[in-house]
Structure 1
Amino acid sequence: MNSHEEWAARFGTPLYVYDLDRVAVARDELFSMLPEGFELYYALKANPHPEVARATREGGSHACRAEISSSGELAAALSAGFAAEECLYTGPGKTDGELDHALGLGVRMFSVESLGDLRHIGAAAVRLGVTAQALLRINSLTASATTGMRMMGKPSQFGIDSETLPELMPELTSIAGTRVVGAHFFTMSNAKDEASLIGEMQHVIALAAELGREVGLPLEFLDIGGGFSSPYAVRGERAVYDKLRTELESSLDVHLPGWRDGTTRLACESGRYLVGDSGSLLTRVVNVKQSRGGKFVIVDAGINTLGGLSGLGRLLPASVEVDGDTSDVASLVGPLCTPGDILGRDIDLPELSGGELLTVPNAGAYGVTASLLTFLGRPAPAELVVRGEEVVSVSRLEPRRVFESSGAEPSGVAAE
């Protein structure tokens, strides 16, 4: 019996397995592809499991910081051992309550999406008697990327349109409770083509330097984003960017020549690249049936377990893939009472029967917390954390309903 069979028998399925050794390898490899001195932020939205997140910050000189966008992610980051001052708080809809909470716990760095966003941050900082450091997220008018998900050069709720900065900069740099210290760009996602990734990063470095000269954008800190590619729920390997380090160094030497002396702190961010290949989803076949010439393999993991964001058309692939030799074609479907619970239609699968175990690879990012976890009331999958063959922990997210004290509880139901 291999480890997956043993763990599935012991902890049940569906079961996510995260290998912390794989997180460490991805972290170190990504740092090695960036210029010396770059900081790296782990985007907790990819996988907020505290032990997975902790593994991204346990690398000594290769320790990540945390990129968060909610009070829940802040709690996960602190639980993982990140200090509040190591967190970059992002997102276009920060509420007053969230800002008071984050600033009260010691978060000081915020990515700013608009003038109104900065005003909210400043008001919260004034209430607490502190100063918030602001990175202006810039939505460049132009972009060079041809592959991956483009994040700039179009109307968006994210970022300040670059062409409006000359008019806005005087007000942006004079809001009480804040100090603009630099810029934040997020150019693209999942860049499989190295030339596109390098071109986009070179573009934002040049743009940041231009904005510094022409509109007085402070450049104490520059986050040039991410976009590093890693397969999601299909077989494959993380992308390797052999030229990235030298190309970024050359661009920085031209446009920000003081970077080697630390005049400007430099950063990138990553989610799926750091944790994607650390995870596997184990799911067991419940039933196999034929219907009007079609074959359906029904498993105990559905869209409540994997890829609940598939409706956005951005995360879940058109079809997942499973490990092992394939000799059959069938639709892989989940157990939910909805025709939309399809993980793959007419895909290559092994010849299967009830009770057999399947493994979906590269499922360490956008798994449990990106799924329709409470849909149809099925239990959440267990999450097993390992180092190689050693079991570190096993846990399960359990939603619960909490009745507000101002409202009457339904008859016979008590708040947990």
Structure 2
Amino acid sequence: MERLNTVIQAIIERKAKQQGPLCAYVYDLDNLRVHTASLSASLPPSVRLFYAVKANADERILKTVAPYVTGFEVASGGELQKVRRLFADSPVIFGGPGKTDEELAAAIEERVALIHVESVWELQRLNWIAARRQTTVRVLLRVNLRQAASGATLHMAGKPTQFGIDEQHIAEAIHTALTLPSIDLQGFHFHSMSNHTDEQAHLSFIETCLSFVAQAETTYGRRFSVVNVGGGVGVHYNEPDRQFRWNWFSKELNLLLRRQAPPHWTVIFELGRFIAAHNGYYAAEVLDLKTNYGTHFAIIRGGTHHLRLPAAWKMNHPFLVIPIDEWPYPFNRPSLHNQRVTLAGELCTPNDILARDVPCARLRVGDIVLFRCAGAYGWDISHHDFLSHPHPEFIYLESSM
């Protein structure tokens, strides 16, 4: 709560210094640093934590988390270049379902630590590209597990998706990888879900991954060294003060690895949302209040072109209201008291909704709505230039180090 108050105070101070309506992302870099360090420190010794750049590729975010993670997971050539511009030697893992020849070549040239291979065809192309450069590439095969954990917001495995190799077809991929001279098969990648908030179920998912690799070692009579369980650790958007019980999870994970993971395995986590979400906020000033067909609407300076996640997931993004008492106009201030309100953006589409029919004690034109848990999959996944509205400001809260 102390950090939230710091964020609110920073927004109030910024508003006091400007004339026009406020719209800004606020990143709490101090808390991000503490949070990421805590996550890393609690993990078992055989586990490596990578930051998933797709969650938030802001340069200041990357620089803040870098000292506390093993490296970065990227999903495009563009993300790879962002990381390499900042960190010439940090370990990088390259994933994604549609890699071009140019991206695979760049991954080799930029000395990535591992490449997640998504199909036999991609495996053959990578071998061809690596052979032309007279080098060997360390890879993980991405497995679309038949048994995937329930309870996540999105699922990439356990059903037909474009991700990974069907578990029933993985034998062909393993056999191919073991016969290609420029491929060094290190293990497997199992990123299967996004925003998983059930700690016990996530632990069970990891146990499934470990069992898969153990069986593969028995079947092929060889050791594998890497078990990448991906990310997927979630955020309770409907209860923003509740968090995934990471400390409990880490302790249980340690026990699980002692039971089922031989010492030659390295387990990799690729966390993005769980690292960044709680340390970012999106603030937007109320421009108008109106009632149509009995529904109260608040129109904000901003919308889904800045924060697309609530529309994409059809959810009410958690928020609070920051009251701004200054009122510069010589006429009455529109306001709502103890009403249900729908928070809509400034775009010319009825889909520009960030929260629908939610209770609100008081809301006035000129107040600021502060959306919480906006540090991941916020600005980065949004359609910034639709209607050519101005971009938000970016405010970074960081004490001198």
User: Could you say whether these structures have the same fold, taking a TM-score greater than 0.5 normalized by the shorter chain as the test?
Assistant: yes
Which position in structure 1 is the counterpart of 2:91? 86
Match of 1:196 among 181, 201, 205: 201
Q: How does 1:144-293 map to 2 (within 5 A)?
A: 144-216=149-221, 218-232=223-237, 235-257=240-262, 259=263, 263-293=264-294
Matched residue, 1:26? 35
- Give CA-to-partner distance per residue, 1:106-135, whole Å, 9 cap, x none: 224101111111122222222333221101
Does the 8 A contact of 2:47 with 2:269 survive in 1? yes
Q: How many residues align?
A: 379
Q: What is the one-letter code of the residue matched to 1:220?
A: S
Q: 1:96, CA displacement in angstroms?
A: 0.9
Answer yes or no: is the 8 Å Cα contact 2:300–2:344 preserved in 1: yes
Please point out which of 13, 17, 29 is paired with 1:6. Answer: 13
Instruction: Determine the C-alpha separation between the residues in 2 that align with 1:171 and 1:119.
Output: 8
Report the 3-state secondary structure (helix = DSSP H, G, I; strand = E; otherwise coil) of the residue aligned with 2:148: coil
Q: Distance in 2 between matches of 1:217 and 1:355?
A: 65
In the alignment, which residue of structure 1 is the partner of 2:332?
Answer: none
Q: Corresponding residue for 1:71? A: 77
Query: For 1:13 and 1:354, how far apart are their aligned partners in 2?
Result: 12
Match of 2:136 among 131, 138, 154: 131
Q: CA deviation at 1:72?
A: 1.6
Amino acid of the structure 1 residue aligned with 2:119: S
**CA, structure 1 residues 141+308, in 2 after alignment: closer, same or farther (shift >3 Å)?**
closer
Q: Distance in 2 between matches of 1:29 and 1:238?
A: 14
Contact 2:321 2:368 survives alignment (8 Å)? no
Amino acid at match of 1:35: P
Residues 327/216 of structure 1: CA separation in 2 closer, same or farther (3 Å cut): farther
CA distance in 1, matches of 2:379, 2:238: 13
- Please report how far the alpha carbon of residue 176 of structure 1 lies from its aligned counterpart in structure 2 after TM superposition: 3.6
User: Could you list the per-position Cα deviations for residues 159-201 of structure 1 after superposition, in whole angstroms to 9, with x for gaps in the alignment?
Assistant: 1222223344221222242211111111332222211111111
| 148 and 297 in structure 1: CA distance in 2 versus 1, 3 angstrom threshold | closer
Q: 1:6–1:277: structure 2 CA closer, same or farther, 3 Å change rule?
A: same
For 2:200 and 2:10, locate their aligned partners in 1 and report how far apart those are by CA, in whole Å: 39
Partner Cα separation in structure 2 for residue 114 and residue 49 of structure 1? 30
One-letter identity of the residue aligned with 1:23: L
CA distance in 2: counterparts of 1:148 and 1:377, whole angstroms? 31
Identity of aligned residues (%): 28
TM-score by length of 2: 0.86
- Contact 1:233–1:321 (Cα < 8 Å) also in 2: no
Q: Is the 8 A contact 1:99 1:121 kept in 2?
A: yes
Q: Does 1:42 align with 2:44?
A: no
Greater than 4 Å deviation, 4+ residue runs: 9-12, 323-326
Shift of 1:28: 2.5
Structure 2 CA distance for aligned equivalents of residues 82 and 247 of structure 1: 35
CA contact (8 A) 1:23 1:278 kept: yes
Q: In structure 1, which of residues 111, 114, 119 is the aligned counterpart of residue 116 of structure 2?
A: 111
Partner of 1:318: 316
Q: Is the 8 A contact 1:26 1:273 kept in 2?
A: no
Q: Determine the structure 2 residue equivalent to 1:359.
A: 370
- C-alpha contact 1:165 1:215 (8 A) present in aligned 2: no
Q: Secondary structure at the match of 2:115?
A: strand
After TM superposition, the score normalised by the length of structure 1 is: 0.84
1:280 and 1:106 mapped to 2: Cα distance?
35
Q: Distance in 1 between matches of 2:231 and 2:309?
A: 23
Residues in 1 aligned to 2:238 and 2:390: alpha-carbon distance in whole angstroms: 21
Secondary structure of the 1:243 match is helix
Match of 1:406 in 2: none
The 2-side partners of 1:232 and 1:216 are apart by: 45
Structure 1 unaligned segments of length 5 or more: list them: 393-416
Q: Distance in 2 between matches of 1:68 and 1:163?
A: 27
Matching of residue 333 in structure 1 with residue 333 in structure 2: no
Alpha-carbon distance between aligned partners in 1 of 2:198 and 2:248, rounded to the nearest angstrom? 12
Mind listing any 5+ residue stretches in structure 2 that lack a counterpart? Answer: 1-7, 324-336
Moved more, 147-156 or 363-372: 147-156
In structure 1, how many angstroms separate the alpha carbons of the residues matched to 2:291 and 2:269?
49
Query: How many angstroms does 1:323 deviate by?
Result: 4.7
